[in-house]
Structure 1
Amino acid sequence: MTASADLVIVGGRVFDGAVLTESTAVAVSGDRVVRVGSDEHVRALIGASTRVVNAADGLIHPGFVDAHVHAAFAGVERMSLDLTPARSAEETFALIREAAARSDSYWLTGGGWDHEIFPAPTRHQLDAIVPDRPVALSDAGHHTLWVNSKALELAGVTRDTPQPHDGEIHLDETGEPCGYLNETAAELVGRVIPAATDEEIHAGLLNAQEHLWSLGVSGWHEAILGVYNGKADCTGGYLRAIADGTLKSLTSGALWIEPGLQQDEVPALVARFVELRERNAEAGFDTSTAKAMIDGVPHGRTAALLEPYCDHSDGFAGNLHFEEAAIRDFVQQLDAEGFALHLHIMGDRGIRVALDAIESARAVNGAGPRHHIAHLSMVQPDDARRFGPLGITANIQGLWASPDPFLAGLIGDDRMQTGYPFRTMADAGAALAMGSDWPVSPADPWLAIHVTVNRWAPLPPGVEAPAMPDGAQPQTLDAEHQALSLQQALAAYTSGSSELVLGQPGRIRVGERADVAIASDDPFSLPASALVTMRTVLTVVGGEVVFEE
Structure 2
Amino acid sequence: MTAPDLLLRGARTYDGGAPLDVRLSGGLVDAIAPSGMLDADGAETVELEGRYIGPGLWDAHVHFTQWVIQQRRVDLAGTRSAADAVAVVREALTNGFPSTDGVLFGYGYRDGLWGEPVTRAALDVFAQPVVLINGDLHSAWMNSAGAARLGLHPDATGVVSEGEWIGTLQRFHAEAALPVGDYRTAAAAAAARGVVGVVEYENVLNIDEWAERVAAGVDSLRVDAAVWPDELDTALARGLRTGDPVEPTGLVTMGRLKVVVDGSLNTRTAYCWDPYPGLDAHSAHGCGVSSIPVSELRDLLVRARAGGIEAAVHAIGDRANTEVLDTFEELGMRGIIEHAQLVRSDDFARFARLGLIASVQPEHAMDDRDVADRYWAGRTDRAFAFGSLHAAGVALRLGSDAPVAPLDPWHAIASGVSRSRGDRAAWHPEQSLPLDVALGASTRHPLAVGAPADVMITDADPYALDRDALRGMPVSATLLAGRFTHRAL
**TM-score, normalization: structure 2?**
0.85
Unpaired segments ≥5 residues, structure 1? 162-168, 172-176, 227-232, 259-268, 363-367, 460-464, 466-473, 496-505
State the one-letter code of the partner of 2:387. R
Give the distance between the partners of 1:526 and 1:104, measured in 2 at CA: 42
Query: Is the CA contact 1:136–1:151 (under 8 Å) kept in the aligned structure 2?
Result: yes
Are 1:326 and 2:322 matched, yes or no?
no
Are 1:215 and 2:210 matched, yes or no?
no
Give the distance between the partners of 1:352 and 1:515, measured in 2 at CA: 36
State the one-letter code of the partner of 1:439. P
Give the distance between the partners of 1:534 and 1:491, measured in 2 at CA: 16
- After TM superposition, give the deviation of residue 144 of structure 1 in Å: 1.0
> 1:449 is matched with which residue?
413
Alpha-carbon displacement from aligned partner over 1:231-253 (angstroms, at most 9, x marks no partner) = xx554431212334532422111
- Sequence identity of aligned pairs in percent? 25
> 2:47 is matched with which residue?
52
> 2:453 is matched with which residue?
514
> 1:309 is matched with which residue?
276
Using the TM superposition, name which of 298-307 and 525-534 deviates more: 525-534
Are 1:479 and 2:444 matched, yes or no?
no
Map 1:378-389; keep pairs closer than 5 Å: 378-389=342-353
Are 1:8 and 2:1 matched, yes or no?
no
State the one-letter code of the partner of 1:311. G
Using the TM superposition, name which of 400-409 and 439-448 deviates more: 400-409
Map 1:264-283; keep pairs closer than 5 Å: 271-276=233-238, 278=240, 281-283=245-247
Helix, strand or coil at the partner of 1:386: helix
Give the distance between the partners of 1:85 and 1:548, measured in 2 at CA: 32
Are 1:255 and 2:227 matched, yes or no?
yes
> 2:382 is matched with which residue?
418
Query: Is the CA contact 2:99–2:105 (under 8 Å) kept in the aligned structure 1?
Result: no
Helix, strand or coil at the partner of 1:388: helix
1:239 to 211, 214, 218: 211
CA pair 277-432 structure 1, distance change in 2 beyond 3 A: farther
CA pair 97-478 structure 1, distance change in 2 beyond 3 A: same
- After TM superposition, give the deviation of residue 317 of structure 1 in Å: 0.8
Give the distance between the partners of 2:472 and 2:359, measured in 1 at CA: 24
Query: Is the CA contact 1:388–1:430 (under 8 Å) kept in the aligned structure 2?
Result: yes
> 2:487 is matched with which residue?
548
Give the distance between the partners of 2:166 and 2:360, measured in 1 at CA: 27
> 1:26 is matched with which residue?
22
Map 1:393-404; keep pairs closer than 5 Å: 393-402=357-366, 404=369
Are 1:352 and 2:352 matched, yes or no?
no
Query: Is the CA contact 1:61–1:516 (under 8 Å) kept in the aligned structure 2?
Result: yes
Helix, strand or coil at the partner of 2:485: strand
Query: Is the CA contact 1:86–1:113 (under 8 Å) kept in the aligned structure 2?
Result: yes
Give the distance between the partners of 1:219 and 1:256, measured in 2 at CA: 20
> 1:64 is matched with which residue?
57
Are 1:146 and 2:141 matched, yes or no?
yes
- After TM superposition, give the deviation of residue 156 of structure 1 in Å: 5.5
- After TM superposition, give the deviation of residue 82 of structure 1 in Å: 5.5
Using the TM superposition, name which of 343-352 and 109-118 deviates more: 109-118
> 1:264 is matched with which residue?
none
Query: Is the CA contact 1:295–1:303 (under 8 Å) kept in the aligned structure 2?
Result: yes
RMSD: 3.2
Query: Is the CA contact 2:10–2:19 (under 8 Å) kept in the aligned structure 1?
Result: no
- After TM superposition, give the deviation of residue 507 of structure 1 in Å: 2.0
Give the distance between the partners of 1:190 and 1:243, measured in 2 at CA: 26
Alpha-carbon displacement from aligned partner over 1:182-238 (angstroms, at most 9, x marks no partner) = 2245369648846345x5264443232122112211111101342xxxxxx554431
> 2:102 is matched with which residue?
106
State the one-letter code of the partner of 2:426. T
Give the paired residue count: 471
Query: Is the CA contact 1:81–1:99 (under 8 Å) kept in the aligned structure 2?
Result: no
CA pair 311-40 structure 1, distance change in 2 beyond 3 A: farther
- After TM superposition, give the deviation of residue 81 of structure 1 in Å: 1.9
CA pair 383-49 structure 1, distance change in 2 beyond 3 A: closer
Map 1:131-210; keep pairs closer than 5 Å: 131-155=126-150, 157=152, 169=154, 171=155, 177-186=156-165, 190=169, 193=172, 195-197=174-176, 200=178, 202-210=180-188
Alpha-carbon displacement from aligned partner over 1:135-164 (angstroms, at most 9, x marks no partner) = 22322211111223311233565xxx5xxx
Alpha-carbon displacement from aligned partner over 1:472-523 (angstroms, at most 9, x marks no partner) = xx4433322x22110011001012xxxxxxxxxx221223222111233212
**TM-score, normalization: structure 1?**
0.76
- After TM superposition, give the deviation of residue 290 of structure 1 in Å: 0.1
Give the distance between the partners of 1:320 and 1:241, measured in 2 at CA: 35
CA pair 13-355 structure 1, distance change in 2 beyond 3 A: same
State the one-letter code of the partner of 2:10. V
Give the distance between the partners of 1:509 and 1:201, measured in 2 at CA: 38
Helix, strand or coil at the partner of 1:401: helix
Helix, strand or coil at the partner of 1:224: coil
CA pair 154-417 structure 1, distance change in 2 beyond 3 A: same
CA pair 9-395 structure 1, distance change in 2 beyond 3 A: farther
- After TM superposition, give the deviation of residue 393 of structure 1 in Å: 0.8
Give the distance between the partners of 1:192 and 1:64, measured in 2 at CA: 31
> 2:475 is matched with which residue?
536
CA pair 48-32 structure 1, distance change in 2 beyond 3 A: closer
> 2:465 is matched with which residue?
526
Are 1:287 and 2:257 matched, yes or no?
no
Map 1:484-495; keep pairs closer than 5 Å: 484-495=433-444
CA pair 101-487 structure 1, distance change in 2 beyond 3 A: closer
CA pair 546-281 structure 1, distance change in 2 beyond 3 A: closer
State the one-letter code of the partner of 1:304. Y
CA pair 436-104 structure 1, distance change in 2 beyond 3 A: closer
State the one-letter code of the partner of 2:128. R
Query: Is the CA contact 1:277–1:288 (under 8 Å) kept in the aligned structure 2?
Result: no
CA pair 311-519 structure 1, distance change in 2 beyond 3 A: farther
State the one-letter code of the partner of 1:257. P
Alpha-carbon displacement from aligned partner over 1:270-328 (angstroms, at most 9, x marks no partner) = 64441245398553542241001110012212111011112314552112111122122
